A and B are shown apart, each in its own frame.
Chain A
Amino acid sequence: MTGIAAIAICEFKIALRNRWVAIAVVIMALFAAVLSAAGSAPSGELGVDKLSLTVASLTSLAVYLVPLVALLMAFDAISGEQERGTLPLLLTYPVSRLEILLGKFVAHLGTLALAIAVGYAIAALAALAFDGEAVQGLPALARLYLTSLLLGAAFLGLGYAISAVAARPGAAAGAAIAAWLMLIVLYDLALLAGVVADDGGAFTRSVFPWLLLANPADAFRLYNLAASEGTSAATGLGGAAQTISPGLALVSVAAWSVIAIGLAAAAFRSVKP
């Protein structure tokens, strides 16, 4: 426990010093602000409060941004220690590899939590300022915030696993970007292509929903868009996706965050200092 805290304190200091905290906060704040400005038009028409609409667009934003920022923070975690040559000394201290990993995780997740909170707060305040009914959207915003952290945790874990396997920060960075492209962009494109080609057949009805669930980013989007009916109406999510219960999607995101950290721990255990 003290080992985790010691590493976390030090890593947070490094994140502050390397401007990672500032960069993450600015990125989230910037995108949230742009999004609120752009989304100010169609309010009221759908009979939904403004904050719920904001949550829907924040969800689409977070699906791209949270995994990206998490991967960028994580890729250096182990490969960087190896490259600098700081790992052997650290490993001779009375602290386990799992504790080292969890310490870094706590610091990075804390940074993400701060950045996401700032971004969402800006968007929420903008919605509340223009629409008195917007308080109705607060529960959806809270759900979005907590699941964003779970999504961030899953991609931090994935980033650590990549960092441990790649051994060099350059290779780890490349692999992290590739993972982001594959899981966030190409995965959905491939599913879409499958659905189009299948044209409402067996794939769309029985395989596609499970493939959506299997990807933490898609599960995250599913949960947040389906959790409130209003927002799913607003975004018109495909029919097949709506057959999945939001609860299952939540379980998927949560499970991925645990599995990813487990993967990272296993990968780190086999790193030779």
Chain B
Amino acid sequence: MPTLTLSQVTKSFRDQRALSDVTLSVDAGERVALLGHNGAGKSTLMKIVLGLIAADSGTIAILGSPQGSPAARRATSYLPENVAFHPALTGLEQLRLYLRLRGEPVGQAVDLLERVGLGAAGRRRIGGYSKGMRQRVGLAQALIGRPQLLVLDEPTSGLDPVSRRDFYSILDDLAGAGTAILLSSHALTEVEAQTDRIAILSNGLLVANDSLASLRRRAALPIQVQIATRPDAVEEVARRVAGTRVNGTRVELTCRHDNKLTRLAEVAGLGDLVEDVEIVPPSLEQIYHHFSKAGAAQ
């Protein structure tokens, strides 16, 4: 049984359709990235999963319990987008509240703050924290009590590059221990490397839901081949492979997935005119554009 299942979830705000017939599941130990333009419905989907807003139709189950039920709430941790806390409390006091609410020993507050790199600031009031520091308090509270489902709305927004890396390594640990993770993000490059599956929402429609490799195959976007040539051979190489000369020593060509090997063989046939070859697969950004465009057209 997947940890989280949504089937045919639909939600409108007055005449504004936010989610249309979305079916999605997340297994234990799986990390799923939810992508989509601003207003695509990511946060709405998450709030519905948490029982904060009601869906118009469709069903949601968290380990077999309906969203918002006590059992579902015990199993789930959430990091909202733009997480906020009471400015008069210190980081430690705020975490102690959340620990008590989950029935965990309050002594863990110090360790949790250490884990997100906030050990030193724990005794200062949150009112004086930077955006990234508040985000880290948000992460710390989401880690309380080894949740079985983790729902993170733009968790790395406001984090510096080093903390982003640390954050994903924490996620790896949790996923390794069986936590199902659903996270939304606009940072495609980091999501590309750190998640198991990509779900793309476009205008409330789920237009893609697969591993990156499968999405790549399905999108069948052209692959780019970059050829570094000998300085005196760039014209000849460009002519013989029908590529585009980029500068004095580089030629680029694009090819489809299914004739990649044929094209590479042609390049190999150029012998010592070529100094190096690099194959650049379509980035998640290109794949994302491909699927979001398809969704917008529907």
Question: Which residue numbers of A lie inside 8 Å of B, CB to CB?
Answer: 2-3, 5-7, 9-10, 13-14, 17-18, 84-86, 88-89, 91-95, 272-273
Contact = CB atoms under 8 A, between A and B. Distances in A.
Interface in B66-112: 70, 73-74, 76-78, 80, 82-89, 93, 96-98, 100-103
A89 B144 CA distance: 13
Among A10, A93, A95, A273: residue with most chain B CB under 10 A: A93
Interface stretch (B45-53, B187-195, B200-208): B45-53
Given A84-B84, A88-B52, A92-B78, A10 B73 contact: no
B227 to A, nearest CB: 52
A7 B86 CA distance: 13
24 contacts: A2-B103, A5-B100, A10-B89, A10-B93, A10-B97, A13-B89, A13-B93, A17-B89, A84-B85, A85-B80, A85-B83, A86-B84, A88-B50, A88-B52, A89-B80, A89-B84, A91-B52, A92-B50, A92-B51, A92-B77, A92-B78, A93-B73, A93-B102, A94-B74
Interface of B: 47, 50-53, 70, 73-74, 76-78, 80, 82-89, 93, 96-98, 100-103, 138, 141
User: Which 4 pairs show the lowest CB-CB distances between chains A and B?
Assistant: A6-B100, A85-B84, A17-B88, A10-B97
A86 B89 CA distance: 13
B98 A93 contact: yes
A95 B98 CA distance: 10
Given A92-B50, A94-B73, A9 B89 contact: no
Most chain A CB within 10 A, of B70, B83, B98, B100, is at B100
Nearest to B76: A92
A273 B52 contact: yes
Nearest to A14: B88
Given A6-B100, A88-B80, 15 more contacts: A2-B100, A10-B93, A10-B97, A17-B88, A18-B88, A84-B86, A85-B83, A86-B85, A88-B52, A89-B84, A91-B52, A92-B50, A92-B52, A92-B78, A93-B73
A171 B143 CA distance: 36
Interface centre among B70, B84, B85, B89, by most A CB within 10 Å? B84
Contacts of B85: 84, 86
Identify the interface centre among A9, A88, A92, A93: most chain B CB within 10 Å of its CB.
Answer: A92
Contacts of A86: 84-86
A93 B141 CA distance: 10
A65 to B, nearest CB: 25
Contacts of B86: 14, 84, 86
Nearest to B77: A92
Given A86-B84, A89-B83, A6 B47 contact: no
Contacts of A94: 70, 73-74, 101-102
A94 to B, nearest CB: 4
Nearest to B79: A89
Contact of A14 (B47, B74, B84, B89): B89
Nearest to B103: A2
B200 to A, nearest CB: 25
- Most central of A9, A88, A89, A272 by chain B CB within 10 Å: A89
A11 to B, nearest CB: 9
Nearest to A95: B101
Nearest to B53: A272
A7 B96 CA distance: 10
Point out which of B47, B70, B97 has the most chain A C-beta atoms below 10 A from its C-beta. B97
A3 B52 contact: no
B88 to A, nearest CB: 4
Contacts of B53: 272-273
Nearest to B84: A85
A227 B278 CA distance: 94
A92 B73 contact: yes
B34 to A, nearest CB: 17
A45 B77 CA distance: 69
Contacts of A5: 100
Nearest to B100: A6
Contacts of B51: 92
Contact of B47 (A7, A85, A88): A88
A20 B101 CA distance: 24
Contacts of B138: 89
A272 B54 CA distance: 10
A85 B82 contact: yes
Given A92-B50, A272-B53, A3 B78 contact: no
A273 to B, nearest CB: 5
B157 to A, nearest CB: 15
**Counting chain A CB atoms within 10 Å of each CB, which of B51, B73, B86, B101 scores highest?**
B101
A68 to B, nearest CB: 22
